Chains A and B, each alone.
Chain A
Amino acid sequence: MRIKLEKRREPSMAMLVTTPIASVLLTMLIGIVVFDLIGIDGFKAVVDIFLSPLLVSYKWQDVAVKAAPLIIIALGLSMGNRAQVWNIGAEGQYVIGALCSAGVGIAFGQTGGFFVVLLMIAAGVAGGGLWAAVPAWLRTKFNVNEILSSLMLTYVSFQVLGYLVGGPWKDPNGRNFPATAPLADSQTLPVWPDSTVHLGVLIALILPFVFWVIMARSEFGYQVRVVGSSTTAARHGGFDSKRTIWATLIIGGAMAGLAGAFEFVGVLHKMDLGFPSGYGFTAIIVAFLGRLNPFGCLIAGIVLAVTYVGGQMAQTSVHIPNSTAGIFQAMMLFFILASDILVRYRIRLIASTKAAGV
């Protein structure tokens, strides 16, 4: 017997939907076994990381607030990935977006209100988009690989953050701590009464529908998919792949910037060195786990947010480091990537043609 791979004519819809779910379940199962082996109560750890945040109602708002940036960033990234454009610098675009938003806030001093908040968010979108425009320009002009350039710019963005919050934007009343002054109340996003759930969460729930319409129903969405499937086909169809590179990178950056602005205006209200929290990198997992589908991103964003919140809970209950959640996130991604082959290929067991016992 040997295993033979047969390419499917169409990607398998059933596999496309079931493999992400199987990946999550398999991750939980392996988590239980492995943690037990190293002497930690595996069942409790997995329940804490994957289920507790959903079972305890006061953790729901934490999940929602953490899911929002993941969903928003993943939506933009998955559009790029569809076009075979690999922006892995979303973390940097997220930081720069938030910084632009903070810049507007500082410029207005204590003045707040609807238009100031709107302007801050618009600045975030523009900042993230512009930061992503650099890799787009380098790719289209000099043929620079956007994976490397967007990643390098992420590290530059951290230094920009460090410089601004430690220098010109440092809070004069902040005991010399490198952070900006907190926003005035009138400069922050509205929140649901008695919770931390801000307006950005609602927008994160609406955006998947917008992206679905763009990707499935608009000519631009069609163009993205054609460019992604084959550059030659795109050329024959009269599509400009350079324009697609520009558009998808800038949209990806703008979404990351939007998420950064929401995080700043809606959650943290000040910028400090701890602002880059890895959402931009985790969103890449979200995009893949969601199979680059807008609604998939929505669900995957919630799943990943649960593991974040659950990781923190497990830290106190079973005393495992916070980064353990990272092991689970990586495992999910490993499984989803491994299972890709089931989507594109059919696995057949065929009797070996050679005589047995060679």
Chain B
Amino acid sequence: MSPDFIIAAIITVVGLSTPILLAGLGELVVEKSGVLNLGVEGMMLVGAISGFAVTVYTFNPWFGVLGAAAGGALASLIFAVLVLQLNSNQVATGLALTIFGTGISSLMGLSFTGRIVMPFTSVFPDVLAKHDYLRLIFGYSPLVYFALIMVPLTTWFLKSTRAGLILRAVGENDLSAHSIGYSVIKVRYAAIAFGGAMAGIGGCYFSMVITPMWAEKMTAGRGWIALALVVFAGWRTGRLFAGAYFFGILMALELYAKASGFSFLPSQFWAAMPYAMTVIALSFISSRGTAGANAPACLGKPFLPST
């Protein structure tokens, strides 16, 4: 194995891990507030097309990222209104959001098919970003660094800030949080919108960095992997980060197995691994009482105060 191959492999893994890391971080915060939003895939697709469209019109990928975040957050608000205001079933509503996002993104994308956008320029000088070896550290899209910064930021927010503490309290025991005087609904609105924005940014990684063009259903099920990732990580940010890169390696193995038949196992084996591992991890987490407590107690349940 030549060093070039190894560098290329690592860059592939980073590229595959970043979108699920972004979307997974968002979903983790949503679930910590006690809400299960199965609409990640749909929000990613809406983010992918909104980011792309904004970049086409503004010629600025940074505005594109903002557009993607806004698109994802807007999509998530449909879910939020139904689930929080009308107490609808979270599973069905999330699923509806994914179907809706898939449909609306292909409709929005009609006039953008076949167009190409300006890619991000690197935030580092070419000497570093294009260097044979240093590109391993400096050669990525700004979104990769954004995702990496968001990991400690999210950890800090959840663990050390007052707002994070309230958010976790709402997810663990909404009725108590309500009786102390916190607005469960407002906290969950904010969490869901954040989840939507992060999923949107994760989605625009596909349309603005990987290809960079728009194609229907281009996120190809990664939203579901992001959901699996949150569970796999046992609702912990550190493990979520490790899990995203672990899943990224599995996905890269799948690609290599498909491309060159190098693997001693069929490519489908590697493709199925993230899901199978999640089920296994879930069994361990759920059967051990203590770690299972890490799953927010109110996850997926409607908030029904008596007053």
Q: Which residues of A contact B (CB under 8 A)?
A: 38, 86, 88, 138, 141-145, 147-149, 151-153, 155-156, 159-160, 162-163, 166-167, 281-282, 284-285, 288, 320-321, 323-331, 333-334, 337-338, 340-341
Contacts and interface: CB of A to CB of B under 8 A. Distances in A.
Interface stretch (B91-99, B164-172, B233-241): B91-99
Interface stretch (B173-181, B182-190, B273-281): B273-281
Contacts of B286: 138, 142-145
Given A142-B286, A144-B282, 15 more contacts: A138-B282, A144-B283, A144-B287, A151-B38, A156-B272, A159-B272, A162-B271, A281-B95, A288-B89, A321-B216, A323-B102, A323-B217, A326-B100, A334-B93, A337-B88
A338 B275 contact: no
Which 8 interchain pairs have the tightest Cβ spacing? A330-B100, A326-B103, A327-B103, A337-B88, A159-B272, A159-B268, A333-B96, A142-B287
Given A143-B287, A327-B103, A160 B96 contact: no
Interface residues of B, number: 44
A324 B107 contact: yes
A231 B139 CA distance: 55
A331 to B, nearest CB: 7
Contacts of B86: 337-338, 340-341
6 contacts: A151-B38, A282-B99, A323-B102, A330-B103, A334-B93, A340-B88
A334 B91 contact: no
B231 interface: yes
B124 interface: no
Contacts of A153: 275, 279
B35 to A, nearest CB: 13
A3 to B, nearest CB: 11
Contacts of A337: 82, 86, 88-89, 92-93, 96
A15 to B, nearest CB: 14
B223 to A, nearest CB: 11
Interface of B is mostly: helix
B300 interface: yes
Given A142-B283, A143-B286, A334-B78, A323 B103 contact: yes
A159 B271 contact: yes
B76 interface: no
A144 B224 CA distance: 17
Interface of A is mostly: helix
Given A88-B95, A152-B279, A326-B102, A163 B216 contact: no
B107 A330 contact: no
B297 to A, nearest CB: 13
Given A152-B228, A341-B86, A323 B106 contact: yes
Contacts of B283: 138, 142, 144
Contacts of B287: 141-144
Nearest to B110: A321
A330 B97 contact: yes
Contacts of A331: 100
Contacts of B216: 321, 323
Nearest to A282: B99
Contacts of A340: 86-89
- The interface centre, meaning the residue of A148, A152, A167, A323 with most chain B CB atoms within 10 A of its CB, is A152
A330 B101 CA distance: 9
Given A144-B282, A167-B266, A334 B82 contact: yes
B107 A321 contact: yes
A147 B110 CA distance: 33
B271 to A, nearest CB: 5
Contacts of A330: 96-97, 99-100, 103
B16 interface: no
A166 B88 CA distance: 41
B152 interface: no
Contact of B92 (A143, A282, A288, A324): A288
A155 B272 contact: yes
B269 A159 contact: yes
Contact of B269 (A163, A326, A328): A163
B107 A162 contact: no
Nearest to B277: A152
Contact of A143 (B36, B269, B292): B292
Contacts of B95: 88, 281, 284-285, 333
Contacts of A323: 102-103, 106-107, 216-217
A338 B107 contact: no
Contacts of A328: 103
B92 A152 contact: no
Contact of A163 (B38, B217, B268): B268
A304 B26 CA distance: 32
B91 A160 contact: no
- The interface centre, meaning the residue of A142, A149, A288, A330 with most chain B CB atoms within 10 A of its CB, is A330
A282 B98 CA distance: 11
Interface in B63-112: 78, 82, 86-89, 91-93, 95-97, 99-100, 102-104, 106-107, 110
A285 B89 CA distance: 12
